[in-house]
Amino acid sequence: MDLIDGLTTEKNIHKLLLTICDMLLVVTYFGRIFFFSRVVNFEHPDDLKKKLDLEIGQNGEADEKLLKMCSDTIHYSVKSGIVKC
Task: Please indicate, yes or no, if residue 29 is contained in any of the structural domains.
Answer: yes
Residues 3-8: what's their mean pLDDT?
50
Task: Please indicate, yes or no, if residue 47 is contained in any of the structural domains.
Answer: yes
For residue 68, give its domain range: 10-76
DSSP letters of 10-77? Answer: HHHHHHHHHHHHHHHHIIIIIHHHH--S-S-----HHHHHHH------TT---HHHHHHHHHHHHHHS
Identify the band that residue 85 occupies on the pLDDT scale cut at 50, 70 and 90. low
Identify the band that residue 2 occupies on the pLDDT scale cut at 50, 70 and 90. very low
Task: Please indicate, yes or no, if residue 48 is contained in any of the structural domains.
Answer: yes
Domain count, the chain: 1
Task: Please indicate, yes or no, if residue 83 is contained in any of the structural domains.
Answer: no
Q: What pLDDT does 4 receive?
A: 46
**Digit-coded pLDDT (tens) for 62-77:** 889 999 999 999 888 8
Identify the band that residue 5 occupies on the pLDDT scale cut at 50, 70 and 90. very low
Q: What pLDDT does 19 receive?
A: 94
